[in-house]
Amino acid sequence: DTGVSQDPRHKITKRGQNVTFRCDPISEHNRLYWYRQTLGQGPEFLTYFQNEAQLEKSRLLSDRFSAERPKGSFSTLEIQRTEQGDSAMYLCASSLQSGNTEAFFGQGTRLTVV
Amino acid sequence: DQQVKQNSPSLSVQEGRISILNCDYTNSMFDYFLWYKKYPAEGPTFLISISSIKDKNEDGRFTVFLNKSAKHLSLHIVPSQPGDSAVYFCAASARTGANSKLTFGKGITLSVRP
């Protein structure tokens, strides 16, 4: 399978716990994005990497959120001290850098904070 | 502030007929537009895109039309099939920036009746 892979698919956690999600992009893609989708909304941009550099973070990304992409390959998104409002689908996407290129999405990680 | 608007939350059409999904945008910097299809518990799947230098792009049963002066685009599906039943998201990006992040609308739920 050469698509974008996300792990885990589902995560249920208690409020206040930390969670970490992983994204493996398409191998030749140097751009990687994290989005969050809540019920009835479209995906909302969280952060963006070009290779290993995190170049932009949305104001939606509070200081409890941190993302990394070591070595420009896979990426992790960590949420510390989870809150019920963090419950959402977290989507990862990757794309090539140049030209008219679309972003390819993974299947997402569904987070439920109880 | 919704920069990409999909004002109709749902659409129901008969199998074999045309489905027309509409999308409006407000940001004049957007120059690349995409449509994604999403099934429940899955990530968005890329369907078709159009650059602002064009007014039409066709791929099989799917055609996207862009009216820059009206800041409006539409997706036509002909003929519609039951398997097309899904949520459709319109997305836009401003590729002149270093970050080609996508701004999504809220989505339209398409139901194709057999």
Contacts of B36 in chain A (CB under 8 A): 105
Query: Which residue type does B52 have?
Result: S
**Inter-chain residue contact B32 with A4, CB threshold 8 Å:** no
Chain A nearest CA to B101, separation (Å)? 7
Could you tell me which chain A residue has the CA closest to the CA of B44? A105
**pLDDT class for B2, splitting at 50, 70, 90?**
confident
Contact B104 A107 (CB under 8 A): no
| pLDDT for res B96 | 63
Query: Could you tell me the pLDDT band of residue A97, with boundaries at 50, 70 and 90?
Result: confident
Residue B1 has pLDDT above 90, yes or no: no
- Per the document, the length of chain A is 114
- Kindly report, residue by residue over A30-82, the tens digit of the pLDDT: 999 999 999 989 999 999 999 999 988 998 888 999 999 998 899 999 999 99
Region of A50 on the Ramachandran plot (φ > 0 left; ψ -120 to 50 alpha; else beta): beta
- Is the CB of A43 less than 8 angstroms away from the CB of B100? no
Residue A77 neighbours by CB under 8 Å, 6+ apart: A20, A21, A23, A34, A46, A47, A65, A66, A67, A90, A92
pLDDT at residue A94 in the model: 94
Q: What is the pLDDT of residues B62-110, one digit of tens each?
A: 999 999 999 999 999 999 999 999 999 999 998 765 667 899 999 999 9
Q: What proportion of chain A, given as a percentage, has pLDDT over 70? A: 96
pLDDT at A99 exceeding the cut of 80: no
Task: Give the three-class secondary structure for A71.
Answer: helix
Residue B15 has pLDDT above 70, yes or no: yes
Is there a contact between A95 and B100 if contact means CB atoms under 8 Å apart?
yes
Residue B107: which of A42, A95, A110 has the nearest Cβ?
A42
Q: Is residue B105 within 8 angstroms of chain A, CB to CB?
A: yes
A1: confidence class by pLDDT, cuts 50, 70, 90: low
Label residue B41 by pLDDT band (50, 70, 90).
Answer: confident
d(CA A6, CA A51): 18
Ramachandran region, residue B61 (left: φ > 0; alpha: ψ -120 to 50; beta: rest):
alpha
Instruction: Quote the pLDDT of residue A11.
Output: 97
Query: Averaged over A75-101, what is the pLDDT?
Result: 90
Is the per-residue pLDDT at B44 higher than 80?
yes
